[in-house]
Amino acid sequence: MARLIRMDGTGHTTLAQWTAADDARFAGAVEEFRSAQQLGYIGTVPEGPGQATHVRELPREADLVIMRRPIAGG
Amino acid sequence: MAAEQALPELASVPWRRRTDARWLLRWGRIWQAWTLLYSVPFLAAGAAMLWLAPIAAPVALIAIAHAWIIPELYAFRGASVTRPKGPRNERAEHVAQGLLADLLGHDERELQRRTGLALERGELGVWLVGEAGALLVTPGARRVHCFCVRTAEPELPPSDRVAHLLLALRVDEEGFATVANHAFAGAPWRVRRRMPQPMRPALGAARHAAR
């Protein structure tokens, strides 16, 4: 089952879970994804060692999507 | 680079030129020249004073000390990007550590647990990612670039801060280096001696991986 998680003050929070075949649960996950985006979070899909992709829409086939805060020079 | 692969945070620094291998090489040489520029005159002045008027030895020693202290201060500034910063958030750290561990390979996970720094191999070299900064050991392991970069959310547990930087680095390595503030470039031994003791093995591992 795919997961949408948000990194936050609790470590991380699972916002939604879905399977590619379950349209209703995926639609709910898309809602959560967009809500997090509106709060300033950025969607990232880890893709194995050394690779990750920035996503603007929730990918149905992804196993894990992580919402992270923007970074900036310190 | 396709828009989807570029780091979104680049939009906040539109005036910066993209940091690539050539930029790093040039910037490393500038740092090297700069170090010589502020060290050699103090050394020369100290030596000249000793030769011309040995009675001025205390002043000569002060000049020579300056030639040592100023580069050390710069190296300290560079090494400081790896120091733990901000609240520890102990309650959430255990959960955050689990997520970070899932993002790392076995050896990198063990190294991160021991040192607090996540080792990541990239195109520009080998990175060590900390809570509020990153070190880049360039190929050949002769130079380290120190970058100050962080997530804006201070209440995140330390491992989540590392994971934020790691994910951004994996999305767009050059973009990550562009967004980050360059703090120092110099020989690895200069940075190592100013790093907290428990973190030093991570720099050793990164140098080994970069050779």
Chain B: nearest CA to A38, how far in angstroms?
Answer: 14
pLDDT per position as a tens digit, B145-165: 999 999 988 789 999 999 999
ipTM of the complex: 0.95
Residue among B93, B94, B171 whose CB faces A53 most closely:
B171
In angstroms, the CA B162 to CA B12 distance is 21
Closest residue on chain A to B118 (Cα): A50
Q: What is the pLDDT of residue B4?
A: 60
pLDDT per position as a tens digit, A57-73: 999 999 999 999 999 99
* Helix-then-strand count for chain A, H and E: 1, 6
Instruction: Report CB contact under 8 Å: B149, A49.
Output: no
pLDDT along chain A (74 residues), means of 10: 95 94 95 97 92 95 96 90
pLDDT per position as a tens digit, B162-181: 999 999 999 999 999 999 99
Instruction: Report CB contact under 8 Å: A8, B120.
Output: no
Q: What is the pLDDT of residue A22?
A: 93
Residue among B89, B103, B165 whose CB faces A9 most closely:
B89
Instruction: Report CB contact under 8 Å: B155, A9.
Output: yes
Q: Give the start-to-end residue ranges of the domains of chain B.
A: 20-211
Q: What is the pTM of this model?
A: 0.94
In 3-state terms, what secondary structure has residue B61?
helix
| Chain A contact probe: residue of B91, B129, B167, B174 with most A CBs at under 10 A | B167
In 3-state terms, what secondary structure has residue B69?
helix
Q: Which residues of chain B have pLDDT under 50?
A: 1-3
Sign of dihedral through CA atoms B112, A70, B21, B28? negative
CA distances from B35 to B38, B39, B57, B110, B144 (A): 6, 6, 24, 35, 14
Q: What is the pLDDT of residue A48?
A: 81
Q: What is the pLDDT of residue B2?
A: 39
Q: To the nearest 10°, the Cα dihedral for B41, B47, B49, B50?
A: 170
Instruction: Report CB contact under 8 Å: B95, A74.
Output: no
CA distances from B64 to B46, B47, B155, B193 (A): 6, 8, 44, 20
Contacts of residue B16 in chain A, CB cutoff 8 Å? Answer: none
Answer yes or no: are the C-beta atoms of A6 and B156 closer than 8 Å: no
Q: Which amino acid is at B46?
A: G
Residue with tokens 């050779």: B211
Residue B164 backbone phi and psi in degrees, to 5: -60, -50
